[in-house]
Structure 1
Amino acid sequence: MKLNLHLISLFLLGLFSLSTVHAQYDYMSIVGDATSAGWAANGLQLDQNGQIFTYRGELKAGSFKFHAFNGDFCEGEWINATEDGQALTATDYIVTTGCEGPDNKWSVTTPGSYSITIDLDASTIQIIELDYYPNLSLVGDATPGAWSLDLASDMQVDELNPALFTWTGDLVAGSFKIATIKTFDDGWDWIMPLTQGQDLGLTNYQVTLSGSGTDNTWIIDAADAGKYDIRVDLESETIAISKSAATKIPNFDASNVQVWFNETNGQLTVDMNDQTEGNVTVYSSTGSLITQAKGMGTIVLDASA
């Protein structure tokens, strides 16, 4: 009798130990009609750091779940919500196998930018809505990757200012716009000029849903091809497009340029001594665009902001 009791105790101990072992994966993707990948079984792959998986990107109205296997729907395991339509603020989840279910999903009612972190060791999920797009990419035949989303020119987000994105590179004759997520499907935000071929010196832009009928682009003429600096400030909703300092300007002598700032009225005067037409862009100490002007000879700007 004692032997039997010991065996039962060991068996129960084994069951308890198994139940406390956390799932371990080397792959995770987000799947659902709230994502740009839709209901493709392999979805959008998450970034991995040990057993922590993260996604930062756009989600639109719809639902999603996570696939822990790069294969068909009934293969591998899934991370599901504990109940269907679970609130995004909840931190718990369940693990299901293949198509066995329950097929609970998280629901997005407010389209926007989100950060999702799955910590397998802690068995938690954290879903946070972000203030700004976490990713911006230049797309168009004026860019190095042309109209390929796989080769899109990703902008760099400032480490201290999540609203500020920059890119420096070569632009050729053609056009471009800015993607907030890499898809041409309808219903996703694009950053584009207010009008087709808008002057590169203008700083305003609009955010438009793909498929809405508006598809404006900035245009680079053959004579203006070269290396450019592009800066997008999502907080002030401005864009600055200017020739990079690395682009040579024929017969331009920087030593002849004079700059004055009038502290009384906030005016900045740039005298280029009639050398050539140029762009003058003024930024604050935090990198935000203050003002920009294009002209020849003497340019006067209001830099009082």
Structure 2
Amino acid sequence: MKNFKIFSILFLFVLGLNSCSSDDDFTAETPEPTADFSFEAVADNPQLISFTNLSVDADEFMWDFGDETGVSTQKHPSYQYASAGNYTVKLTAMNGDNTSTYSEEVSVLGVPSAAFSYEVDEEDTYTVHFENQSQNVAEYSWDFGDGSEGSSEASPSHTYAETGIYTVTLTATGAGGTAEASMEVEVKDAQPAFSNVYIVGDASESGWNIGSPAAFTQSETNPFVFVYEGVLTPGNIKFSTFTGDWCDGQWINAAENGTSITQASGFIITQGCDGPDNQWQVTEDTQGRYRITVNLEIETINFEAQNAPYSELYLIGDASENGWNIDSPAAGFTQSSTDPFIFTYQGTLNPGEFKIATYTGDWCDADWLHPTQADASPAAGNYEAHLGCTGPDYKWRINEDTQGEYLITVNLYEGTINFEVQ
């Protein structure tokens, strides 16, 4: 009986040990994850996609956003795509060694951007061509800033009615929204290729000085027109568009070398010293004062001889050898063969007074040249011209201190008179 009790106790003890060993060896099974997600574009930024992770039974995640660049391990990431397009996004959901993959194509709309450039038409500077540089848009609305109807073309052209500065606005709309861009556009008259023209040559006042030649004057109403007035003497001329060194810029040359200024009509443009070095020619027969007009727009040149307002001048008065004889004065001024506006007289002036007639005949027939004040002394200055018997009858006065031999020079172009004691 005693042995039976001991055996029973041992049996129960062993049975208890076996029962404890079975509980310790039990392992719970890890569930299989299921990958899933949804997505939506962020408002006002369609290229930024927000992803919502819908996976179950997963505690780690790996995102591949399908653009060969973007990855993430966040549970609910957002991703900014660089450009619009269709991308296959893959989510791998993990739970221990167990994984699940889910893919879905995401259509990304581009962020709309509005941009444009413009250029002025080469032939009509009032016409502007616009180049649309917008992205991710499909519809366009142009406001040209001049109150006109505008345009819905992608890259329109517009002709303005007048010069000015206009604010042009492009509104561009696409699936991702609307964008706007504005720019000021200046519309102005056409401008010439050169802003300066100079006369150069031994027939001109400049000589062959390219460093500081005499300049033409650009027209205020037509920037393509340049005008020069001056005396041309026998020799040659051409025109530069620059100063400095002979080969620094472009030249305006005669179409044929040796062309007479009286036969000039057009010209050619040459670069630096590349030639041909064609020049216009001035002879003794064609020398004189000229008004030269260069029109860069229609490529013409015109030499217009300038005629003096008077062809003869006479000293009239008791201080001169002619006395008060207006009908047939004995001596007159000599007109320059080079510059028809220059008249000179050399003779003796005696005590008395004089004025200068521009004619012979009757006292009131034509213009007289007078000093600007009564009893003027023989000194350099300006003169006034009055018709016949009109205006103040001012005269130059010679006294015993100022009498003598004089060289008198009248410059009709500048309106001056000079007395040089001989």
**TM-score above 0.5, yes or no:** no
TM-score by length of structure 1 reads: 0.44
Of structures 1 and 2, the one scoring higher in RCO (CA 8 A, sep 6+) is 1
Q: TM-score, normalised by structure 2?
A: 0.33
Compare CA radii of gyration and give the structure with the larger one.
Answer: 2
